[in-house]
Structure 1
């Protein structure tokens, strides 16, 4: 198996340089559970969906990484469909997608960019390469990556 490199991607646009600030708001409980899920899935990449209203991420949906890989992830389409139906019952919508990079940096890989199919979703990457997890967030549209600023909020 070939190791996938997770390096800072030159296609990432420096939104902050343009004076544009785009925020995503995450409930503290969701933030903590997302990091805990990623740690618990080591040595594999963890993955999941986040739902809420507008840019506020209120609910975490842990998904199975059907690839069981330390360098990639994939979600089961039936599990995604069922989860989105549960979101709709809660009057929430898909607002985010997360996965971990167990040994890599928190930047989208080429595979992450190619497989980003939800342009309105915030893409979170949790790096577990160091003792303290590092989380970054991006919007991925038309194969371009835009950093988002994260605001963790109390319930």
Structure 2
């Protein structure tokens, strides 16, 4: 297991058991703003931080350019992982938007999720006020997490 993943696993153990996650208020707002900016397409990105928190947002390009799915290029992902390491943070989360759907993982979200050790934010923009939910997805099971902004 690469060091980045080991750090994320250790930092997120307590969160999984308590069913909550911490995110900086500014980062929470950043992922909403990024999601709005990308409309009508799905936005996507990753999150990093220390001690399991989501302290930094790393907006990514949705290479699928789709309103119903997203993908991040391996090149962009590896570049972000290098930057995260330079900041002495760990990979703590993934986020993406649902422009017209509820903020719950779709079948595709669950099937394609390959980082069970990190949290998974979904921003729904189907209503006037964005709705954000967070989950842990592990072995095709979805666990809702309470979001605590700090």
**TM-score (norm: length of structure 1):** 0.85
Hey, which of these two has a bigger chunk of helix by percent?
2
Structure 1: segments with no counterpart, 5+ residues: 1-19
Give the equivalent residue in structure 1 for 2:134. Answer: 137
Give the equivalent residue in structure 2 for 1:60. Answer: 57
Give the equivalent residue in structure 2 for 1:122. Answer: 119
Shift of 1:22: 1.5
Q: SS state of the match for residue 130, structure 1?
A: coil
Give the equivalent residue in structure 2 for 1:44. Answer: 41
Cα distance in 1, alignment partners of residues 100 and 18 from structure 2: 29
Structure 2: segments with no counterpart, 5+ residues: 1-16
Query: Deviation digits for residues 18-76 of structure 1, max 9, x if unmatched?
Result: xx742110101101111000000000000000000122110000000000000000000
Among 28, 33, 55, the alignment partner of 1:31 is: 28
Shift of 1:90: 0.7
**TM-score (norm: length of structure 2):** 0.87
